[in-house]
Amino acid sequence: NEPYKEVFTLRVFGELSFKQIANLFGKSENWACVTYHRARKKIKERMEGYR
Protein backbone atom coordinates (compact mmCIF):
# COMPACT_ATOMS: atom_id res chain seq x y z
CA ASN A 1 0.00 0.00 0.00
CA GLU A 2 1.63 3.23 -1.18
CA PRO A 3 1.77 6.19 1.24
CA TYR A 4 -0.39 8.46 -0.93
CA LYS A 5 -1.56 10.66 1.93
CA GLU A 6 1.94 11.25 3.26
CA VAL A 7 3.45 12.01 -0.15
CA PHE A 8 0.58 14.35 -1.07
CA THR A 9 0.82 16.17 2.27
CA LEU A 10 4.59 16.58 2.04
CA ARG A 11 4.34 17.93 -1.50
CA VAL A 12 1.40 20.31 -1.04
CA PHE A 13 1.66 21.47 2.57
CA GLY A 14 5.32 20.74 3.26
CA GLU A 15 6.36 22.21 -0.12
CA LEU A 16 9.01 19.51 -0.52
CA SER A 17 10.48 18.62 -3.90
CA PHE A 18 10.00 15.15 -5.35
CA LYS A 19 13.69 14.52 -4.69
CA GLN A 20 13.30 15.42 -1.00
CA ILE A 21 10.22 13.20 -0.67
CA ALA A 22 12.03 10.33 -2.39
CA ASN A 23 14.96 10.66 0.03
CA LEU A 24 12.61 10.53 3.04
CA PHE A 25 11.14 7.23 1.85
CA GLY A 26 14.37 5.80 0.44
CA LYS A 27 12.83 5.64 -3.03
CA SER A 28 13.47 7.18 -6.45
CA GLU A 29 12.41 10.66 -7.51
CA ASN A 30 10.21 9.05 -10.17
CA TRP A 31 8.44 6.99 -7.48
CA ALA A 32 7.66 10.19 -5.54
CA CYS A 33 6.29 11.89 -8.64
CA VAL A 34 4.13 8.93 -9.67
CA THR A 35 2.84 8.41 -6.11
CA TYR A 36 1.91 12.11 -5.84
CA HIS A 37 0.01 12.08 -9.13
CA ARG A 38 -1.82 8.88 -8.19
CA ALA A 39 -2.79 10.51 -4.88
CA ARG A 40 -4.14 13.56 -6.74
CA LYS A 41 -6.16 11.30 -9.00
CA LYS A 42 -7.66 9.45 -6.02
CA ILE A 43 -8.59 12.72 -4.32
CA LYS A 44 -10.17 14.06 -7.51
CA GLU A 45 -12.22 10.87 -7.95
CA ARG A 46 -13.48 11.08 -4.36
CA MET A 47 -14.35 14.77 -4.73
CA GLU A 48 -16.35 14.06 -7.88
CA GLY A 49 -18.27 11.39 -5.97
CA TYR A 50 -19.68 14.08 -3.68
CA ARG A 51 -21.31 16.07 -6.47
Position 31 scores a pLDDT of 99
Question: Mapped to the 3 state alphabet, what secondary structure does 10-47 carry?
Answer: HHHCCCCCHHHHHHHHCCCHHHHHHHHHHHHHHHHHHH
Cβ 2 vs Cβ 34: under 8 Å: no
Report the predicted TM-score, pTM, of the whole model to 2 decimal places: 0.89
* Predicted confidence (pLDDT) per residue in 22-39, tens digit: 999 999 999 999 999 999
For residue 1, the model assigns a pLDDT of 81
Domain ranges of the chain: 4-49
pLDDT digits (tens, 9 = 90+) for 6-18: 999 999 999 999 9
pLDDT of 51 over the 80 cut: no
